[in-house]
Amino acid sequence: MTLMGAAALLILILTYAGVAIGRIPGLRLDRAGIALLGGAAMIAIGALSMEDAYRAINFDTITLLLGMMIVVAHLKVSGAFRGLGAVAIEHAHAPFMLLVMVTLLTGVLSAFLVNDAICLVMAPIVVHVTRVIKRNPIPYLIATATASNCGSVATITGNPQNMVIGALSGISYPAFSAALAPVALFGLVAVVVIIRIVFRAEFARTVQLTPEVSRGRMHKGQVLKAVVVCIGLAIAFFAGVPVAKAALIGGAILLLTRAIKPERIYREIDGPLLFMFAGLFVVVAGAEKTLLSPDMIASARNLGLDDVWRLSGFTAVLSNIMSNVPAVLALRPFIPGLENPERAWLVVAMSSTLAGNFTLLGSVANLIVAEQARAAGTTLSFGAFFKVGLPLTLITLAAGTAWLAFGF
């Protein structure tokens, strides 16, 4: 190994370790800063030129994520999410029906919009409702987190790692959804069944509930415009319009308003996530250029990753070690050389997402729900989540892998 190769390997390891941990001890660097520092280090050692670094960043992914962030921000600020949540939850007149409503609403919204943002909206609603009707909030909060992960499996726009895979693989939106929507649906059913069993005391007795959700102030005209844009986006996605192009245009249209100050929308955009993506693209490209020869990439066949079950398990473990987006980028150089790259990408999308239900730390969505609950005075413990997460992850991964192994 050359000196540059050794330096690139060290940068890759330190960057991925920092992203996995979330910080560097003694420094005030977050994941975005760590990824950007890693990318800059790759350029500094000469692993990539500036031009190479620019080319390494997949701007389709960045653009898609930005466009969807604007759409979700508008839905949130206009009051659309709050209103939809109120209508759905107020029709749940028993604890089990409340569980079903929370799971379906979170899962369906997460299928088309970014799941992390859905959790930001749903978690406070769940805490408020369960507090008003004097129910245990924990099973419903776990349903929110796990349903957002399961539901987001269904589409390219469901979560950040799917967006990366959509851009890298070239799989169309309809083909992606046709392959993975059944897995998402099975996952939502599994969420309801497993939580019903684990928290059987919460659902043992039939209780008449009258949940009420504060709708707050709604910009009705902006809600209508957002709904129309979302319908247009769904049509465009399934019609084959490039998803990044459609999302950017849809987001830009929603910025044309006299009712909502643009600063309110900008505050909802997760800039650090965009920076982290850019940095990781550069880090991975630098490592690929200096460390991976064509023979080494081809040797992935020797790892048996052509086997759907092995690839699924490997992705799930890797996702829990380093988080799902970094895991997907780490696998990027090896997937095109496999026997069936399209199926392999779908396996990676399914497994990296469902693996997030394994522990409370397994996905950003889980952490968002836990943090929103904590801010409202409710503690979602690691142990309580794990009692649901362990069987849910094993069952959904097995079902999803079997579906892609034998049904695709």
pLDDT digits (tens, 9 = 90+) for 188-211: 999 999 999 999 888 776 666 665
On whether the CB atoms of residues 43 and 49 are closer than 8 A, the answer is: yes
On whether the CB atoms of residues 282 and 43 are closer than 8 A, the answer is: yes
pLDDT at 408 over 80: no
pLDDT at 364: 82
Measuring CA to CA, which residue among 116, 84, 86 is closest to residue 276? 116
Q: 297: pLDDT confidence band, cut at 50, 70 and 90?
A: low
Q: 104: pLDDT confidence band, cut at 50, 70 and 90?
A: very high
Tell me if 210 is assigned to some domain: yes
pLDDT at 293: 64
Measured in residues, the chain has a length of 408
Tell me if 29 is assigned to some domain: no
Q: What is the mean pLDDT of residues 289-308?
A: 72
Domain that holds residue 119: 56-405
Tell me if 399 is assigned to some domain: yes
For residue range 116-134, what is the model confidence (pLDDT) as tens digits? 888 888 888 888 888 877 7
Tell me if 28 is assigned to some domain: no
CA distances from 120 to 86, 116, 126, 161, 268 (A): 15, 7, 11, 18, 10
pLDDT at 332 over 90: no
Under the phi-then-psi rule, with left for phi > 0, alpha for psi from -120 to 50, and beta for the rest, what region is 377? Answer: left
Q: Could you give the CA distance from residue 234 to residue 380 in angstroms, rounded to a whole number?
A: 34
SS (H, E, C) the chain: CCHHHHHHHHHHHHHHHHHHHCCCCCCCCCHHHHHHHHHHHHHHCCCCCHHHHHHHCCHHHHHHHHHHHHHHHHHHHHCHHHHHHHHHHCCCCCHHHHHHHHHHHHHHHHHHCCHHHHHHHHHHHHHHHHHHCCCCCHHHHHHHHHHHHHHHCCCCCCCHHHHHHHHHHCCCHHHHHHHHHHHHHHHHHHHHHHHHHHCHHHHCCCCCCCCCCCCCCCCHHHHHHHHHHHHHHHHHHHHCCCHHHHHHHHHHHHCCCCCCCHHHHHCCCCHHHHHHHHHHHHHHHHHHHHHCCHHHHHHHHHHCCCCHHHHHHHHHHHHHHHCHHHHHHHHCCCHHHCCCHHHHHHHHHHHHHHHHHCCCCCCHHHHHHHHHHHHCCCCCCHHHHHHHHHHHHHHHHHHHHHHHHHCC
Q: In sequence order, which residues have a C-beta less than 8 Å from that of residue 93 and are 6 or more positions away?
A: 208, 209, 210
Tell me if 6 is assigned to some domain: no
Q: What is the mean pLDDT of residues 62-89?
A: 82
Measuring CA to CA, which residue among 132, 103, 106, 134 is closest to residue 120? 106
Q: How many domains does the chain have?
A: 1
Write phi, then psi, for 125 (nearest 5 degrees): -65, -45
pLDDT at 301 over 70: no
Most confident of 70-74, 75-79, 246-250: 246-250
pLDDT at 372: 83
Q: Measured in whole angstroms, how far is the alpha carbon of residue 267 from the centre of its chain?
A: 20
pLDDT at 22: 74
The three-point CA angle 33-169-293 to 5° equals: 75
Tell me if 47 is assigned to some domain: no
For residue range 234-281, what is the model confidence (pLDDT) as tens digits? 999 999 899 999 999 999 999 888 777 888 888 888 888 889 889 989
Tell me if 64 is assigned to some domain: yes
Tell me if 331 is assigned to some domain: yes
